[in-house]
Amino acid sequence: MKTDLYNQKGEIIGQTQLPEKIFGVKLNADLLHQVVVSQAANRRQSNAHTKDRGEVRGGGKKPWRQKGTGRARHGSIRSPLWKGGGVTFGPTNEKVYTKIIPVKMARKALFMALSSKTLDNSLIVLDDLKMDKIKTKEMVNLLKKLPGGAKSSIIALPANDKNVIFSSRNIPKVETTPAKDLNALDLLKFKYLLLPKESIKVIEETFLKIKN
């Protein structure tokens, strides 16, 4: 299958071949959803934490004797019934959200996301993507010349290019990532995928090595 090939001026200079095994995969919505939910869960951090009665400081002494005071009996001020006591069923940072994703499933979901971008005309293949210096304004102007402009785009780079990465990082809704680290979750977060021609080879070499 073929798609248009753009230069950095936003001009169509020809066409390039896309691997059918990667960009022509039939969509399985259930599988894609399962993988995306798992990838999102694996990035989740357990930051919220409340102390239970075993973690609250103090309360080693019984507040008052069991009988004869006319008050309700209590054994510790660390009880959840007391102000400053432990919290019952509160969030803790010990909870693990990680889910196991089989490698082949993650790869299949990635190919489905890439195929979806191709069908939706949201895949933009560039002959090359180079910048002489770090300049955000120049990157914005470059993106505006391409379909979709600088709106909600992820750029998959074939190699680490500091000029492109640093020029893009302050542009809202624009993100760069190594082509070898592409995943379904990141692709679905953005409307457009900008793919330098060399990145296609990187994707082939990285993901087609996995045995069926």
Residues 38-94 have pLDDT tens digits of 999 999 988 899 999 999 998 889 999 999 999 999 999 999 999 999 999 999 888
| pTM (2 d.p.) | 0.82
Positions of E strands within 49-152: 123-126
For the chain, domains (ranges, CATH) are 2-44+101-207 (3.40.1370.10), 47-96 (no CATH)
Count of alpha carbons within 13 angstroms of residue 44, beta-carbon side: 16
The string of pLDDT tens digits covering residues 142-200 is 999 998 776 899 999 999 999 999 999 999 999 999 999 999 999 999 999 999 999 99
The string of pLDDT tens digits covering residues 100-156 is 999 999 999 999 999 999 999 999 999 999 999 999 999 999 999 998 776 899 999
User: How many Å apart are CA 174 and CA 185, to the nearest integer?
Assistant: 15
